[in-house]
Amino acid sequence: MKIDLTDKKVIITGGSTGIGKEVVKLFAENKSKIALFDVNDSEGSNLSNELNKKGSEIRYWHLDVRDSNQVSGGVLAANQWLGGVDILINLAGILQGASLDIEKFPDDIWESVIGINLTGSYLMVKHVSEIMIKQKKGVIILTSSGAGVLGSSSSYAYGSSKGGVHGFALVLMDKLAKHGIRVHDILPGSVDTPLKNAQIETTRDITGNKEAYLDTKKILVEPKDIAKIIYFMCSDEAKLLKGSIQTE
């Protein structure tokens, strides 16, 4: 089965590193047109330039998903450049506060994590869905986590934010289906990304448990394998999928 997303118009947030970078590369290789939103300017610009030299159509925007004005303006500009939006893949996210006790948990970390992971998801969907509703079609992929749905998160803020994204996706799935928009949240497991590695290193340093750290390192999966699942989820071949997709 060949999955063809040629000429699809795609917005990807958090696409400069980790899973997002592999998603951008996979869609670019398959001739999608991509608007990349991130705050990692060096990585985002370098990736865009590298892929454009290979014949891809990709443009980078500096965009903080917590800022409603930035999101509104970025989506407007991207829509004009893309000529519509077929797919939104919201991968922007942070994990902070790993292994901190609740009574010592910093308020600023809580606000930052909730802001990027949950409020950022809301703002991206708010502004992109307006375009998709007019088109009467679209696919939206949000990033949740088993940490927010199944429990056992290393961070109170992270688990709460991802649980919120999961609930948000379920509501969207119900409300946007009548407009021809398919919504999913993906729950990646332990993936070999800068975010995950920083988390397990922080936990190791706080707890002193080097054995647990090494055990976790052994089970980390490749970001490109998660990217392949996301690519399939965005295709017409996945049109019968519903709800959340959990991975290793």
Domains of the chain, residue spans:
9-188+224-246
For residues 167 and 97, give the distance between their C-alpha atoms in angstroms, rounded to a whole number: 22
CATH topology for the 9-188+224-246 domain: Rossmann fold (3.40.50)
What contacts 140, CB < 8 A, 6 or more positions away? 87, 88, 90, 125, 128, 129, 132, 172, 176, 181, 182, 183, 184
Cite the active site residues: 158
pLDDT tens-digit series, residues 203-243: 898 888 888 878 787 778 899 999 999 999 999 999 999 99
pLDDT at residue 193, as a whole number: 81
Query: pTM for the complete prediction?
Result: 0.94
pLDDT average, residue stretch 130-158: 94
